[in-house]
Amino acid sequence: MKLLLHEISVPLLKPFKISRGTVNEQTILIVELQKDGQSGFGEVGENGYYGHSLETMTESILRVTSRVESTCLSSGDAVWEAVNEQLSSDRFALSALDMAAQDLFAKLHGRPCYQEWGLQWTSLPESSFTISIGTPEEMVLQLKEQPGWRIYKIKLGVPDDIEIVRALRLHTDAVLRVDANCAWTVQEAITKSIVLKDLGVEFIEQPLPRESTKEEQELVYRESALPIIADESCCLPRDVERCAGAFHGINVKLCKCGGPTPALAMLKQARSLGLHTMIGCMLETSIGISAAAQLLPLLDYADLDGAILLGNDPAEGVTIDRGVVSLANRPGCGGRLKQ
């Protein structure tokens, strides 16, 4: 196998604001694995919150390149198995490698990844579209610019949270979900959940900080009027069990856990524990979105609008039409660089 890296900087369609900052441009590292005339693609983006830069992720991948290139691709998870321990401190880099290897393995077999993973392409949830933080008027404008989605995810974590949801509700009957990105206190989460429920919100994602205690999480879990989904509090496979009894569901992201291989295991474990399952994304191209979309049959909720939020997606793959995900009709995950 041959490993190639491509660095890409993509300006966003418009600045994307959440409770801990604003992003104008996303820097992305694309991993390409070549074998027998086929290319498998994986990707990962820089992320300050999780502490991964282009430099650190490139360094991580270069550290394991010879090992990856000499791996016999006897299964989709062979690369993950080969470098998982060495990359235990850089799940982001591991994710891009695993994604590329799973894509390549399925391509060499002429089958889509979801089939390789034993999944049936049925009972698929629609994706939400994310509205980033702004004034209520700005957020209503974002909603109006993306009409027709059946689910919107609203970024919150500012003093006028409730006013924002009230304003949006006046303009849509769609399902609304909210994501506080760690910005609320226990009391705030409980109090706001009651009002948000009245406004027809379906669930709250990550109200408390990642550092919140199990007791605080359990209190919100018990007292909240709405289901609570863990995002920042659920990164690795070992986090799933801890989330049972402290959250109603988990939001798995490929980069947080280290790729499709652990994501598949986490979603299956979550379902066995009675947790709701969700897949989310970062600001990423259609390569990453196409890989995450292969897991849709295991999901209750999907948030896969990352490529739509980019100004100009340098890749192509699954398409999302107002939430409805369609496969690319190609083997593997279906994502590839344009040209």
Is 256 a residue of the active site? no
Select the residue whose beta carbon is closest to Mg ion and give its number. Answer: 231
Query: C-alpha distances in angstroms, 183 versus 153, 228, 274?
Result: 16, 14, 26
Nearby residues of 238 by Cβ (< 8 Å), 6 or more positions away: none
Nearer to Mg ion, 102 or 132 (CB): 132
Q: Which two tokens stand for residue 243?
A: 């989330």
Window contacting Mg ion (CB under 5 A); options: 104-112, 146-154, 198-206, 262-270: 198-206
Nearer to Mg ion, 204 or 291 (CB): 204
Q: Does 231 contact Mg ion by CB under 5 A?
A: yes
As a whole number of angstroms, the distance between CA 126 and CA 123 comes to 10
Q: Which two tokens stand for residue 2?
A: 């041959």
Nearer to Mg ion, 41 or 301 (CB): 301
Is 253 a residue of the active site? yes
179 is in an annotated binding site: yes
As a whole number of angstroms, the distance between CA 134 and CA 141 comes to 10
Which member of 179, 284, 305, 316 binds Mg ion (CB under 5 A)? Answer: 179
Nearer to Mg ion, 58 or 185 (CB): 185
Smallest separation (angstroms) from Mg ion to the CB of 299: 15
231 is in an annotated binding site: yes
As a whole number of angstroms, the distance between CA 126 and CA 105 comes to 27
Window contacting Mg ion (CB under 5 A); options: 9-17, 162-170, 199-207, 320-328: 199-207
For the residues of 121-176, what is the DSSP string, one character each? S-SPPPBPEEEPS--HHHHHHHHHHSTT-SEEEEE--STTHHHHHHHHHTT--SEE
Window contacting Mg ion (CB under 5 A); options: 72-80, 108-116, 147-155, 203-211: 203-211
Length of the chain: 339
215 is in an annotated binding site: no
Q: Does 98 contact Mg ion by CB under 5 A?
A: no
Q: Does 303 contact Mg ion by CB under 5 A?
A: no
Catalytic residues: 155, 253
Q: In the complex, which residues of this chain contact Mg ion (CB under 5 A)?
A: 179, 205, 231
